[in-house]
Amino acid sequence: MSTAVQPKGATASTAPVDFLPLQGTDYVEFYVGNAKQAAHYYRTAFGFQPLAYAGPETGMRDRASYALRQQKLTFVFTTPLHETGPIADHVRRHGDGVKFLALRVDDATSAWNETTRRGGRSYMEPTRIQDDHGACVLSGIHTYGETVHLFVERKDYKGAFLPGYRPWSTPYFQTPETGLKYVDHCVGNVGWNQMNTWVSFYEDVMGFRNILSFDDNDISTEYSALMSKVMSNGNGFVKFPINEPAEGKKKSQVEEYLEFYNGEGVQHVALATDDIVRTVRDLRNRGVEFLQVPPSYYDDLLSRVGAIDESIDPLRELGVLVDRDDEGYLLQIFTKPVEDRPTLFFEIIQRKGAKSFGKGNFKALFEAIEREQATRGNL
Ligand code: FE2
């Protein structure tokens, strides 16, 4: 990790100064083939609320973007309006997928300066955009694949989402929220032997730390070997696990992703809830499809994880997984891919003290993924 620079006037201290202070995830933007229909799916199935719209009617000639919100979660779905251009190229190569993991900062100019002078490749120089509701500063750097980290400075902005968007509301029907609250972590899949490149990127360019590592001894099933390292920023608000495929008997889940996404990209976004049973039941009733583990997973659950507050029956009924670490336990479940390509999916997670990622569930989970891969003929 590079040495942090002391701000002017600071006294020498053994604690490094965080050169990239992050307030959390600002939004996740997806490039998709049909943003109007994607927005409808995330409203009806996931319970997001209409927030803001940008398109030809607001002066955006090449795209349409729909911003949706639920608690602290903001998703944006953007589609190209023409055959050519970077958005159309992205959709053609990758299908629907995450383009921007946007991070909230107090100073987007400093964020860009600090990261680019440490080797970050610029996507967008600090750019001030404004409308009648104030001004935002955006900047950005590239990360793995064609994914971008935008830095969003919005302390002087009072509008619905960003300048260029207009508030979006619809009188047609209500889509009650499902209890999803914020982004817990976002996982990237990178190519063979690329793990250390990206670990170094997050350490050197963004000042993150590697807080957990899993190797192929921890997480190989018969086929689906992978390695994973969890990168966290200084205050722990932003966590980016990174997966790399490992040699297995047959094609691993990361390889399947890389083949169908046509390169590196975001594998899953984990969404936090305070009541996973309620949230998952609601999502399931609205048509969200989840991976299922065998009923035997629950037979010796309590002997594996100890006492938990929840009763086992609804967890078994819904397929919710449980894991424990030194600090507490967590409940989690994974959707099937939310596109026809076997690429991006979501995790729903409820943390009860645990700060880890469910290592105890990897085997049951990966066997469930392999069963799905086999039905696609990709194992
Ligand atoms: Fe996860």
- Residue 254 Cα to ligand 1 middle (Å): 14
- Residue 308 Cα to ligand 1 middle (Å): 21
Q: How far apart are CA 21 and CA 243, in angstroms?
A: 25
* pLDDT for res 220: 59
- Tokens representing 217 are 């001894």
- Residue 268 Cα to ligand 1 middle (Å): 7
* pLDDT for res 4: 46
- Residue 169 Cα to ligand 1 middle (Å): 32
pLDDT above 80 (res 12): no
pLDDT category at 167 given cuts 50, 70, 90 is very high
* pLDDT for res 331: 97
* pLDDT for res 105: 98
Contact between 286 and 45 under an 8 Å Cβ cutoff? The reply is yes
Q: How far apart are CA 104 and CA 177, in angstroms?
A: 23
- Residue 130 Cα to ligand 1 middle (Å): 36
Beta-carbon count within 10 A of 309 CB:
7
- Which top CATH class is 24-167? alpha beta
- Residue 162 Cα to ligand 1 middle (Å): 29
**pLDDT top residue among 362 and 150:** 150
Strand order in the sheet with 265-273: 209-214, 226-232, 239-245, 180-189, 265-273, 345-352, 328-334, 321-325
Percent of the chain with pLDDT over 90: 78
* pLDDT for res 225: 77
Q: For residue 75, give the nearest of 108, 104, 123, 42 by alpha carbon.
A: 42
Q: Where are the domains of the chain?
A: 24-167, 180-376
pLDDT above 50 (res 10): no
* pLDDT for res 6: 45
Q: For residue 27, give the nearest of 86, 71, 90, 80 by alpha carbon.
A: 71
Q: How far apart are CA 79 and CA 65, in angstroms?
A: 7
Q: How far apart are CA 25 and CA 44, in angstroms?
A: 23
* pLDDT for res 295: 85
pLDDT category at 374 given cuts 50, 70, 90 is confident
Q: How many CA atoms lie within 13 A of 31 on its CB side?
A: 23
pLDDT category at 52 given cuts 50, 70, 90 is very high
- Residue 345 Cα to ligand 1 middle (Å): 10
- Tokens representing 187 are 């996982």
Q: How far apart are CA 31 and CA 65, in angstroms?
A: 9
pTM: 0.93
pLDDT above 70 (res 163): yes
- Residue 82 Cα to ligand 1 middle (Å): 35
* pLDDT for res 157: 97
- Residue 215 Cα to ligand 1 middle (Å): 16
- Residue 374 Cα to ligand 1 middle (Å): 22
Classified by CATH at the fold level, domain 180-376 comes out as 2,3-Dihydroxybiphenyl 1,2-Dioxygenase; domain 1 (3.10.180)
* pLDDT for res 223: 66
- Residue 269 Cα to ligand 1 middle (Å): 7
pLDDT one-digit tens code per residue, 213-241 = 887 666 656 666 788 999 999 999 999 99
Tell me, letter by letter, the H, E, C secondary structure of 18-68. Answer: CCCCCCEEEEEEEECCCHHHHHHHHHHCCCCEEEEEECHHHCCCCEEEEEE
- Residue 17 Cα to ligand 1 middle (Å): 28
pLDDT one-digit tens code per residue, 244-287 = 998 877 778 899 999 999 999 999 999 999 999 999 999 999 99
Percent of the chain with pLDDT over 70: 93
- Residue 166 Cα to ligand 1 middle (Å): 33
pLDDT above 80 (res 343): yes
- Residue 135 Cα to ligand 1 middle (Å): 34
pLDDT above 60 (res 8): no
- The SS3 of residue 3 is coil
- Residue 227 Cα to ligand 1 middle (Å): 13
- Residue 270 Cα to ligand 1 middle (Å): 6
Question: Are β-strands 73-80 and 24-31 bridged in parallel, bridged antiparallel, or unpaired?
Answer: parallel
**Residue 129 phi/psi, 5° resolution?**
-120, 145
- Residue 74 Cα to ligand 1 middle (Å): 18
